[in-house]
Structure 1
Amino acid sequence: MGISRVHRLIRLITLLQSRQAKSADELTLDLHVSRRTLFRDLKLLEAAGVPYYHERGKGYRIRQSYFLPPINLTVAETMGLMILAKSAEAERNRPLAPAALSAIYKLIAITPDPIREACSDLLENISVTPIQPVDGHDETRVYHELQRAIDEQLVCDVAYQSPTEDEPLTCKLMPYAMHLANNAWYVLGKTSAHGNEVRVLKLVRFRSVELTRRRFKRPAKFQVSDKLGLAWKLIPEGKEYNIEIEFSAKVATNVTEVRWHSTQQIKTLDDGRCRVSFRVDGLNEIAWWVCGYADQARVIKPAALRKRVREMHERASKLNT
């Protein structure tokens, strides 16, 4: 077999491994060959056991499980992986963390020795303060049980400890999806205690999860984003508000450095203050956030949020007198 044909076959395999299927016409143009030559090369790949296939209306591609392309990591990419591994070590007991760490270490292992050694030297001058995991709760077991229930659409018997209740709530749960936010895992689904409302439940609050043999049908068009909508964090309340808050110059830089919400708009004032506006579903979550800035934040609108923040500060003042 000629060298040019070997190169062409390697190029053909590379094209077939791309995420987008390629039609015969596209392949002939990319390879600069005739259709006859293309089909002859495809037959050669078939004889060699390369598992390509044709999707009607789309084109040719190779099964993704065949093999992965070689990975050449740069120094910056290797450093990034090492920092991720260093920060993730403290969360080894969290859901999916061991698998993620294993993948990171495998990628680091295939980098050339000079790059890996250089990155290790640089890493000695980088400090990472990891987020500490929750003690005394098997979040990983709960995650795996709920993920299996989602995959197999199985109803669960659960006991859930709400922070506002003295006793755990026992009910049936039909889990739809998992969601990671604010360094915590949540499950979204319907329960026998809340009617048709989709609830957002925090994994660390589950006291028990038992899968049953009863199946449910997950809504085909369910999306986590549809449930969360314009909520400040996780809990939409069914009414949207136009929020405007003015922050003092002392904290303005801190506020404007972060993207707090997808609808965020910022206006910087001449004296260093800033005004930040949002379109938010519900006031409870954002009220707590505003109170965190104490006397450095002034609610301009709506009046309902201004009143709520004022009342929360008054109660805090009485509590601390």
Structure 2
Amino acid sequence: MADMTRGERTVQLFAKVISNPDKKFTVSDLMASFNIPDEERRNVQRDMRFLSEMDGGRYIAVETEGRTAVYRSALHNAERLLFPNFENTMLHFVFLKRIANIYPATSEIITQLLERIEKSLPTREQKSLRQLGDDLNTKILFMGTPPDIEEDASEKIRLILQAIHDHRKIEVAYRDSANSEKVSKRIPLMIIIYEGELYVGCQSERHAGDTYTLKFRRMKSVKLSKQTFVEDPKVVDKLRRQVTSGAAFMSGQEPKLQDIEIEFESRARLYLEENPFNRSMKIGKTKNGKINVKLKAEVNQLLFNWVVSFSNVAHVKKPAALRSRLKEFAEYLTETYG
């Protein structure tokens, strides 16, 4: 538990209290439940304070027994919940629904909680919630492992989701690769979770039709702008293709797909079937008992690294550009290591 991010720890603490409605918990109780070391006590206290203040204490209630804070579930009041800031609440719900599958131990509890609260809403607001969910679910893309989200991520995520939904630009203070901070307006199209990182996919303001990604952890602050934008479905589809090919994280250009053909040793078949490089990948047999893999992809660093990871069982047939890069890499290794 000590190695968990704050986001994971907070979800686990939330689930522990909510799933035991007849019990009261001190911070010490909760730390003992998850084997959290004592040096994390202040962090757990901060997490529980945040959870008890969330939506005015409607989910987790806090009481004082002597000098000790005690926490318990407040969900028996769920049927009478009010949502004065309904749009923001819906954005949190949508994101929770999308991340529920990341945490198997708590996904069922999150789902039950959201269903219970959703049913308590007036019919009109239930329809609004479902509509918003449909609109935003396609704008949160999961590619690989859960993100390592930093401490103040929740509010920034909410603002970005709201901007995507309302087609509003955002003003972002961002650290570039040279660690210089710049403030500029951005056009957010989607949130992407890719190999342990969270990204915001954006449309270029200067170059029509171009897209790029911002690494979430480098965004120091986010503000909603009054300026709106018109979303182009073709640009959104283009960005989605770039995400699928990996090009979105290498450059801001439209991926140039090529026909890739690689021969693998048969023992790699099961792994390839379970972990295809992309959806276009097809596996066939060859006369010599090996397997032949064909796919369409951009010849970029992502594909290169993938092939190198199979270096002892793979032989690239085409394209020539990929074979050339592998040859140069092999020569570098030979020269460096003998």
With normalisation by structure 1, the TM-score equals: 0.52
Does structure 1 residue 143 correspond to structure 2 residue 151? no
Counterpart of 2:190?
177
Counterpart of 1:81?
none
8 A contact 1:229–1:281 mirrored in 2: no
SS of residue in 1 equivalent to 2:217: helix
Structure 2 counterpart of 1:226, from 208, 218, 238: 238
SS of residue in 2 equivalent to 1:295: coil
SS of residue in 1 equivalent to 2:233: coil
SS of residue in 1 equivalent to 2:245: coil
CA shift, 1:107, in A, is 7.0
Counterpart of 1:303?
320
Structure 1 counterpart of 2:296, from 279, 290, 294: 279
CA shift, 1:262, in A, is 1.8
CA distance in 1, matches of 2:292, 2:157: 40
CA distance in 1, matches of 2:280, 2:301: 17
SS of residue in 2 equivalent to 1:294: coil
CA distance in 1, matches of 2:173, 2:337: 36
Counterpart of 2:281?
264
CA distance in 2, matches of 1:206, 1:153: 19
Structure 1 counterpart of 2:174, from 154, 157, 160: 160
CA distance in 2, matches of 1:87, 1:151: 23
The one-letter code of the counterpart of 1:202 is K
CA shift, 1:173, in A, is 0.6
CA distance in 1, matches of 2:241, 2:100: 33
Counterpart of 2:59?
none
CA shift, 1:151, in A, is 2.2
What are the ranges of 5 or more consecutive residues in structure 2 without an aligned counterpart? 1-98, 117-144
Counterpart of 2:50?
none
Deviations 1:266-308 (A, max 9, x none): 1123555322111123433211211222332221100111122
Counterpart of 1:88?
103
The one-letter code of the counterpart of 1:280 is A
CA distance in 1, matches of 2:113, 2:195: 25
What is the aligned length?
208
Deviations 1:223-276 (A, max 9, x none): 633323375235264422101112223433312333331211111235553221
SS of residue in 2 equivalent to 1:229: helix
Does structure 1 residue 103 correspond to structure 2 residue 111? yes
8 A contact 1:186–1:200 mirrored in 2: yes
Counterpart of 1:248?
265
8 A contact 1:178–1:188 mirrored in 2: yes
The structure richer in helix per residue is: 2
CA distance in 2, matches of 1:160, 1:288: 28
Does structure 1 residue 186 correspond to structure 2 residue 196? no
What are the ranges of 5 or more consecutive residues in structure 1 without an aligned counterpart? 1-83, 109-130
Judged with a 3 Å threshold, the aligned counterparts in structure 2 of structure 1 residues 252 and 220 are, in CA distance, closer, same or farther, namely closer
The one-letter code of the counterpart of 2:168 is L
CA distance in 1, matches of 2:100, 2:169: 36
CA distance in 2, matches of 1:240, 1:189: 22
SS of residue in 2 equivalent to 1:157: strand
Indicate the percent of aligned positions where both proteins have the same amino acid.
22
